[in-house]
Amino acid sequence: MNLAKNQKIRALIYSLAFVAIASIFVSWDKQRLNDDFDKLYSLLRTARLDALNKDTTIIVKFNGSTVSVANQKDSVTTTTTIPLIAKVDYETHMGNDMIVYTWRGTSDYNRKIHGGEIVLKSLLGFRRYIRVNCNGMVREGRYPEDG
């Protein structure tokens, strides 16, 4: 009787440990996704504001998880890594997987009328979307389908 009780307690402890570890992993995965989202969101908003306020052209290029921001006025390029970028759906006349900001927005270079989107995907499959419209506004959410 005592052996059966010990086995039940052990099984309960293992079950609770598994649930705790799984919960911690899910929280960690979502936190990584949110951190990368915030970093990219801030980078894109800063690029838009720099193009507007400094009267320059800013080119944001995506190459896998590497994001390069080039200021055409003073030839300064900065590069950062955002590991959870899963897909960039942005096409310009200068090439795909890049966003070209001017003081008027992005419409001078866009191939799609509304702009495009970037998808971030976590290890467990959670997704967050950033869309950049033709005015260069950066928002969370999906890119609207052309009608």
Instruction: Name the DSSP letter for residue 88.
Output: E
Q: Does pLDDT of 1 surpass 70?
A: no
Instruction: Name the DSSP letter for residue 83.
Output: T
pLDDT at residue 145 in the model = 65
Q: Which of 25-34, 97-106, 135-144 has maximum average pLDDT?
A: 25-34
Whole-structure pTM value? 0.86
β partners of residue 120: 85, 128
pLDDT at residue 2 in the model = 78
Please state which of the four CATH numbers 1.20.1250.20, 3.55.40.10, 3.90.650.10, 3.20.10.10 is assigned to the domain occupying 2-140: 3.55.40.10
Specify whether the CB–CB gap between 45 and 62 falls below 8 A: no
One-letter identity of residue 113: I
pLDDT tens-digit map of 48-99:
999 999 889 999 999 999 999 999 888 888 999 999 999 999 999 998 999 9
